Structure formats: structure tokens, C-alpha cells
Structure 1
Amino acid sequence: MGQLFNTIVTELNNYLWSYILIGLLIGLGVYFSFRTKFVQFRLLGEMFRLLTDKATVSADGKKGISSFQSFCIGAATRIGTGNLAGVAIAIGLGGPGAVFWMWIVALVGGATSFIESTLAQIYKVKDKNGFRGGPAYYIEKALNARWLGIIFAIFITISFGLIFNSVQSNTISVAFESAFGTSRLVMGLIITGVSALVIFGGINRIAKVSQVVVPVMAVFYLLIGLFIIVTNFQAIPGVFSLIISSAFGFNEALGGSVGAAISYGVKRGLFSNEAGMGSAPNAAATATVSHPAKQGLIQTLGVFVDTLFVCSATAFIILLSNEYQTGTFEGINLLQASLVSHVGPWASVFIAISIFLFAFSSIIGSYYYGETNIEFIKKDNTVLFLYRIAALGMVLFGSLASVQIVWDLADLSMALMAITNLIAIAFLGKIAFKTLDDYVSQLKVGKNPVFHVSNVDGLQNVECWGEEEKIDNKKAV
């Protein structure tokens, strides 16, 4: 029975990824890039400036989640096992060329991320903690298709709240078993217990934890990667050559087939940076900003930081060693072995600790994505409590399961939610285009852009950008 289940999951993944998702991701990414005049590149400086943008204050005097905090919540789920174990798996199965296709997904996906996150801000709703939103909300409000919003909400709850969290805990337990010989059950119980403490604390605690943990862990990991690149500087041109030649099948003996490179590069790229998947908009919607495009730009920056910096650091650590050619290691163990070959035995311990921080922050953010979508379907404290228990149960399950099955399930659930979201934003992109034009026009005259529902013709079912918000948002810095 287990073998039959694995076969079904594998066949579904092959079909969805080979015939539907790769075309949608890259095709829409290119389309959005041209329609926004390559917003992901021309407003790069503005993205960095917005990291210092403070949260606006609501009419009742409450300070909301800032752009930087929202960036960190999004980064908490982006920067996780996909950046470490995911890249290692992509190289192991798709060859070095998979890295090139991860870069492509990020570069064109930056525009897609801008579209979905801007839409999430426009159609966000108020709740007891501030704001919430995401694809389920803009599908219901802008497309008048609540039924499709519910389908997306179910997909993302299963994907992030349950299956993706099992991927994170799986990687942690495997890494600690390799580095310290720690029982995977013991590690699973520890991860589950710590996760419960944060999960029952609410979104404000999630924002505070993410704001501290994510920047520290990302910078520290990048410094190690930079050290290895600098100390192997003469080999860098050869690595670039290997990546590009393998990406197009020029050097298939080293890189596997070009089809495998594209498939695993796109899969792991999407899992890592989430551009177009429909997950990051849930974080984007929580921010209290003066204009929706601000969060579109912030989340686009998140895509670049995730893939072009963190994933690339992992790729160079692996490709500057010879471990990936031996076929001895897979997943996080391949990264551990590669780093050990560069800097010595302590590296295995460093990766185990790093993956704990990366993956734990992802568990926190992924849980929230499920919570906000459960509340979209129905606000029920009993259902929410059961979801929290199920999420923690999947964390424990993942720590004990095999590597292959948790990643295959993650690919399937990710494909289903991404397809739903991509179809929706294909129809709604024009709203984000107009919102971007409004933002840029205000920038050009020296204003701190402020949005109002009347700024874009024809907007309907918009809850949070009326007269009251127009006044309050003038307090933005």
C-alpha cells in the first residue's frame, strides 16, 4: 500500500511539474516582468529603502507590523531547508545546471512576487491582531470566487501548516543525527515542544521571533559561504562554467540531463523563494504600510535575498567540493560533507545548528500561513486548536519519516496551491500594474506614496483603503 501511494504521488508530480507548472511559472514571470517594466530591477534601490519604513499607526492607536517585520516573516518561511537541503537535493538529482534554473526562477519570479504581494495588501482585511490576507482573500474579493479561495486555503493549509513543516523537522532531525548522533525521536519531541510555545503565542510573537532570528542566521551563514568562495576564488569561473554548461546539456556527464536540471532547479527554486506560490502574500498582508506596492517591493527583495544570496552560497559550498560527484550523500548530509571538506569537522555541527535555526523559523511562519487561511474558511476556535495539534503532529512525524516521501508530498502540495494562485493572478495582474503606476507617479514628485481605493479605477470589495485609512496612513514615515 505504501509503495502504491508513493507511485501515485510521483506520477502526479511528474505530470504537474513537466506539463503545467514550469510553463506557468516562467511564462507568467516573463509576462509580469515586461508589464511592470522589470520592476524587480528598476526599483531595487527603493526596496532596500523600504526596509526602514516604519509601521503606520491605526485609528485606535495600535502600531502595526512594519515592512521589516513582514519581510522577516516572509523570509522566515523562505529561508529554510529549501536553501540548504533543497539546493543539495537539486544538485544531487538534477546536476549543477539546476542552480542556473533556480536563478532564473528568482529573476523572473521577482515580478510575480510583486504582483501577488501587492494584491494581498490591497485586499487585506482587519482582524484582532491587525491585518490578514493572501490569495484566498483576493480570489474571493477581486474574482468573486469564494469557492476557489476556499480551495486555495485548503491547499496552503495542508502544504505549509502540515506537509512543509514535516520537511523542516525532517531536515533538522537528519542533520542532528549526522552531527551528534541524536535520536530523531528525541529531536522531534524537542522541535515539537519549542514550536508549540511559539505557535500558541500568536502572530505578534511570530513577528518578534522572526525579526531577531532570521537576519542573524542568514548573515552568519552567508559569511561562511563568502569565506569559502574567497578562499577558492580561482575555482569560481570553473563553477560558473559548470553550472551554465550543465543547465543547457552541454556537459551532461557531470550534470544529468537538461530536463532533470530544469525540473529540479524550478522545483527547489520555487520551494525556496516561493515566488508565485501564493504563500508570501500572507505575510505581505500583515504589514501596516501607506501603500500596497511597498509590500510588493519588500517581498520581491525577499525572493532575491533567498535565492541569489542564500541558495547560491549553498550551491558554491557544494560545487567547490567533490562530494556531490561521489553519490555517497544526499540532502542535508551532502551539504554537511561538503562544508567539512572545506573547513573541517566542526562544519557538520555548524550546519546542524544553522538548519535548526533556519528550519525552526520556517515552521513558525508556515504555521501562520495555515492559521490565516483556516480563519478565511471559518472562524472557529475548536478548528484552530485542532489545526495547531495537527501541525505539531506533522512536525513530529517529519522528524521520523524518510527524506524522499516528505519532499515528494511537499512538491505535490506546492504544485496544487501554486497552480491555483498563478491562474488567479494572471487575471488580476492589471490591478497590480495600476497600483505600481500610482506608486511610481507619487515617488516622482517627491511624496511618500499613500494609497486610497480611489487611486485605481474600478476597485471593489476593498476593505482597508478607504477614507479612514487615507488619513491614518499620512502618519507613515
Structure 2
Amino acid sequence: MELFTSFLGEINTFLYSKFLIVLLILTGLYFTIRTGFIQIRMVPEAIRVIQEKGKEGSLSSFQALMIATASRVGTGNIAGVSTALVLGGSGAVVWMWIMCLIGGASAFIESTLAQIYKRKDGSIFKGGPAYYIETALHARWLGIIFSILLILCFAFGFNGLQAFNIASSFEYYVPDFSDSYVPMTIGIILALISAVLFFGGAHRISKVSSILVPIMASIYILIGLIIIFTNISKLPEVLSVCFSEAFDFQSIVGGFAGSCMVIGIKRGLFSNEAGMGSAPNAAAAADVSHPVKQGLVQVLSVFIDTLIICSTTAFIVLLSGKFVPGGELTAIPLVQQSVAAQFGEIGIHIVTVAICLFAFTSVIGNYFYAEANIKFISENPVVMFVFRILAILMVFVGAQVSMQTAWDLADILMGCMATVNIIAILLLGRIAVGALKDYQKQKEQGIDPVFKASNIGLHDTELWK
């Protein structure tokens, strides 16, 4: 087992320190140029689109945005960011911002493709990378491989981890926590709530996400704003340090692997998941008049995750006086102590609530992604029933047991999944760019864009005839 764990560690290091990080950056830069910096110039249009109401019984752009944001925003936005700052220094936050802006273009391409190649699923839609890989690349076998990787990664790996994070957040309150009945009790409660949502299908998940995610994000951002305005006099100095460290290339080159640049890039890329093939599964479910609309909306999800939520954590930590680069206090305890420095003991409780909300919304968002891919492999209701039971069991078990090896394996599966998706969107990116040109042409004519696949030379879509 030790040898296997060491082997997983070597693969993880290669994927996330060398191969995947370069692939994601180059892909993001390529699509940024191809789309004419769409993630910046069309933000006002994206904000307008999320205000459009969906048809009765279907998922609106806003609901699809909330599902994607639910999965993207997890405990990594709290623990991951604080750890990145401790390991890489203040400059890491600036590189997170840069990667967010670059990744927005990849998020646009993959989500637009998911909309173009989506399929009818009762009163709503289903889709994602597996679907556009099968239809546009004529490679169902590769689509199935992608689906299996995503299901194992999100429904079983990451959901077990999120359940464990929820349970662990109560360790502060219970002596001998691991030997008590508290983890099992939390596991039972999480499993029961998950069962109601998982068996309730996409509509129930979308409704819960559209309520819970805005509340969750608003409370956390409000806490951050209070801390920022209370310490506003320190803000110019903190920002100055962030930017000076971010572009101190002599220091970066000297310790490249552990530099603020490398750690900030990693945290930014793997927090917002842009280009990695997960969010398109939510993007495909939206009912919009043109695929580009949902592509634009998913750019906002990337920004919400990194520019808003991750930045909130960063400023909470950097302004608190508790932050020490390379210090022992890190991850969730650092954020708890940072908030407590401003709010007292209640600050620890605030962070505990935030962790629980962030982690649980990730659980339901991750499940939504996995369900779309189960449907791609098989429409058999028995298969779906068994999958839902197994997904619920994983939440129950994950709350009680630290399965580090399984979570390390999930990281590798996600890296493989992302590689398949990046290859697909590089091959199919011209289709999304064609859809963008069609959208812009209609906007210039002063009309609300409506998509017809034939307008950009497509004849292999199930919808958009």
C-alpha cells in the first residue's frame, strides 16, 4: 500500500506540476486570442443573460450557473487558498486572478459546445464533454471513458472528501471526535439529505442550488467585506506586497516549484475548473435561445469562484494579522483564527458554517455532473437507481473515514478527464467560435440571438434545427 501511495504521489506531481498546468494555460491563452478576449469584453452581456427567465419546467441560465458554481465553490476556496498563501506567499493571489482571466476563455468554449450538442432529457436537457465527444468527434468509446473518469472522480472521490470535510469541521467542538458517534451521526444526516436531493433529480437540485449558493456566497462575502473595511488602512500595503511578490521574478526563479507563481497558478486553475470538463455538464442543462448565452454565463461562474470567493478568503487571511508565510497555522484553522481575530469566538462558528455550506453544495453539484454521465452510458433506470444508492453510501462513509488514497486517485482521474476534454475542445473549438460570430452578428442587427445549427454549417446536432 505504501508503494501504491508513493506511485500515486508521483503521478499527481507530474500531472499537476508539469503536464496539466502547462496544457491548461496554453489552451486558455489560445482561446483567449481566438475569441478576442471574450471573458473580458462580454461580461456585461453575460450579466444581462443571467437575468433572462427560463421556460416553465426547464432550467434557466441562472439555475445552471448556480449548479456549476455549487460544484466549483468548495472547501478548496477556504482551505486551499489559505494553504496557497502560506506556501507561496501573498503574491499567489495575483496569479490566481491571472489564471482566472485566462481560464474564462476555455470555460466559454467548453460550455458553448455542451449547449450545441445537448440532448433532450424529459422536460430538461442533458449534455457535456461526453456528448460532444461522441457526436462531433464520432468517438463514443472516448465519451464513455470520459464519463467513467468523471463519475469515479466526482460522485465517489470528491463527494467522499467533501463529506469528510463537513464532519471534520465539527472536530473543534467534540473531544475525542474520531472515537465518538458524531461522525456517524453526521454521515447519516448527510446521507438522508443527499437521498432526498439525488432521487429528486435535476429540478430539485437546481432549486436547492439556486437558493443555497447565493445565500452561502453572500454571507461569506459579507464577512470578508466587514474585515476588509475594518482594516481598510492596511489594504494598500497588502495589495502592494501581493503585486511586488507576484512579479519578483528573481525570487520566483530561485524557488520555482514552491514560488507564489506556481502555487497561485495551480490554485487558480484547479479551483475554478475552467477547461477541465466538469461545468459543461451543468451548462448543457440550461434552456436558452443561443448556446453562446450559456457559454458567457459560465465565464461568470469562473469569476465568482476565483475573483470573488477565493479573493474573499485571501483578504480575510492577509488582513487578519494571523498570516505568517511558511507558518504552521494553515488551511481551515488559519481562516478560523483570522475571522476570530475580528469577530471573536463566534468567528470560528462562522467559518464552520461556511465550510459545511460550501462542501454540501459541492456534493450536490458533483452529483449532478455524475448523473448526466451515467445517463450517457446507460438510460436503464436500474443502473440509475444503483448509482444513486452507491453515491449516497459514499457520502455516508466519507463523513466517517479519511480515504486519502482514494482521494489521491480521484485527483489523478480528474487530471486524465481534463486531458481528454482539452484535446476535444482544441479539436472542436472552431465550432464554438463560429457560434460566437453568429451571436455577435445577430446582436449587431439588434435582435435577440436565436441559434440555428445550419447557420454555422452544422448538421449533426439533435436540437437547434
**TM-score using structure 1 length:** 0.91
Structure 1: how far apart are the matches of 2:310 and 2:239? 14
Is 1:214 the equivalent of 2:213?
A: yes
- 8 Å Cα contact 2:159-2:366 kept in structure 1: yes
Q: 2:134 corresponds to which residue?
A: 140
Q: How does 1:222-241 map to 2 (within 5 A)?
A: 222-241=221-240
Aligned partners of 2:397 and 2:334: how far apart in 1? 23
| Structure 1 residues 424 and 67: alpha-carbon distance in aligned structure 2, compared to 1, 3 A threshold | same
The size of the alignment, in residue pairs, is 458
2:283 alignment partner in structure 1: 284
- What secondary structure sits across from 1:259 in the alignment? helix
Which residue of structure 2 lines up, in the alignment, with residue 78 of structure 1?
A: 72
Tell me which moved more, 193-202 or 89-98: 89-98
CA displacement 1:361-415 (0-9 Å, x = unmatched): 1111110111110111122222222222222232233323449656634432221
Residue in 1 that maps onto 2:39 = 40
Counterparts of 1:73-112 in structure 2 under 5 Å? 73-112=67-106
Deviations 1:403-435 (A, max 9, x none): 965663443222111111111101111001010
The counterpart of 2:163, out of the listed 169, 173, 192, is 169
Query: What does residue 332 of structure 1 align with?
Result: 332
- The match for 1:155 among 149, 152, 177 is 149
Q: Distance in 1 between matches of 2:365 and 2:380?
A: 21
Query: Is the CA contact (8 Å cut-off) linking 1:69 and 1:207 kept in structure 2?
Result: yes
Q: Is the 8 A contact 1:93 1:256 kept in 2?
A: no
Shift of 1:460: 3.3
More off after superposition, 103-112 vs 169-178: 169-178
Correspondence for 1:355: 355
2:348 corresponds to which letter in structure 1? S
In the alignment, residue 148 of structure 1 is paired with which amino acid? L
SS at match of 1:126: strand
Q: Summarize the Cα distance change of 1:94–1:169 in structure 2 as closer, same or farther, 3 Å threshold.
A: farther
CA-CA distance at 1:90 after TM superposition? 2.3
Shift of 1:179: 4.7
Which deviates further from its counterpart, 408-417 or 314-323? Answer: 408-417
Q: Name the TM-score, length of structure 2 as normaliser.
A: 0.93
* Pairwise CA distance, 1:7: 1.2
> Counterpart of 1:114 in structure 2: which amino acid?
F
Q: Distance in 2 between matches of 1:142 and 1:69?
A: 27
Deviates more, 1:132-141 or 1:258-267: 258-267
Note if contact 1:134-1:285 (Cα within 8 Å) is conserved in structure 2: yes
Q: For residue 24 of structure 1, what is the amino acid of its counterpart?
A: L
Q: How far did 1:224 drift? A: 0.7
SS in structure 2 of the partner of residue 400 of structure 1? coil
- Distance verdict in 2 for CA 1:262–1:11, change over 3 Å: farther
CA–CA separation in structure 2 for the residues paired with 1:133 and 1:282: 6
Distance 1:174 1:22, change over 3 A: same
Aligned residue in 1 for 2:302: 303
Q: What code does the residue aligned with 1:270 have?
A: L
CA gap 1:128/1:283 in 2 versus in 1, 3 angstroms: same
How far apart are the structure 2 equivalents of 1:188 and 1:383? 24
Using the TM superposition, give the Cα deviation of residue 230 of structure 1 relative to its aligned residue in structure 2, in angstroms.
1.1
Q: Distance in 2 between matches of 1:368 and 1:42?
A: 30
In structure 2, C-alpha distance between the alignment counterparts of 1:264 and 1:418, rounded to whole Å: 19
Distance 2:407 2:93 in 1: 18
Contact 1:291 1:451 in 2 (8 A): yes
Q: Percent identity?
A: 50
C-alpha spacing 1:131/1:11, structure 2 compared with 1 (3 Å) = same
Which residue identity does 2:286 align to in structure 1? A
CA distance in 1, matches of 2:423, 2:288: 27
For residue 357 of structure 1, report the CA deviation from its aligned partner: 1.4
Q: Does 1:432 align with 2:426?
A: no
Letter in 2 for 1:442: Q
User: 2:419 aligns to what?
Assistant: 419
User: In the TM superposition, what are the counterparts of 1:435-446 in structure 2 within 5 Å?
Assistant: 435-446=435-446
In 2, the alpha carbon distance for the partners of 1:409 and 1:252 equals 33
C-alpha distance in 1, partners of 2:284/2:201?
A: 16
2:59 to 59, 65, 72: 65
Q: How far, CA to CA, are the matches of 1:13 and 1:94 in structure 2?
A: 19
**What is the SS of the residue equivalent to 1:131?**
strand
Cα distance in structure 2, aligned partners of 1:353 and 1:243: 29
Contact 1:246 1:258 in 2 (8 A): no
Q: Which moved more, 1:392-401 or 1:281-290?
A: 392-401
Letter in 2 for 1:350: I
Report the Cα distance in structure 1 between the residues aligned to 2:345 and 2:227, rounded to whole angstroms: 15
Query: Within 2, Cα distance between the matches of 1:323 and 1:400?
Result: 31
Alignment-derived partner of residue 59 in structure 1: none
Q: How far apart, in 2, do the equivalents of 1:394 and 1:266 lie?
A: 31
SS at structure 1 position matched to 2:120: strand
AA at the equivalent of 1:105: M
When the two chains are superposed, the root-mean-square deviation of aligned CA atoms in Å is: 2.2
Q: Whole-Å Cα distance in 2 between the matches of residues 24 and 421 of structure 1?
A: 11
CA distance in 2 between counterparts of 1:247 and 1:5 reads 36
Distance 1:198 1:285, change over 3 A: same
Aligned to 2:118: 124
Instruction: Assess, with a 3 A threshold, how the Cα gap between structure 1 residues 406 and 331 changes in structure 2: closer, same or farther.
Output: farther
Counterpart of 1:473? Answer: none
Unmatched 5+ residue regions in structure 2? none
Structure 1 residues 148 and 215, CA gap change in structure 2 (3 angstroms): same
Q: How does 1:315-464 map to 2 (within 5 A)?
A: 315-325=314-324, 327-402=327-402, 405=405, 408-457=408-457, 459-464=458-463
Counterpart of 2:3 in structure 1 is 4
Partner of 2:257: 259
Letter in 2 for 1:63: G
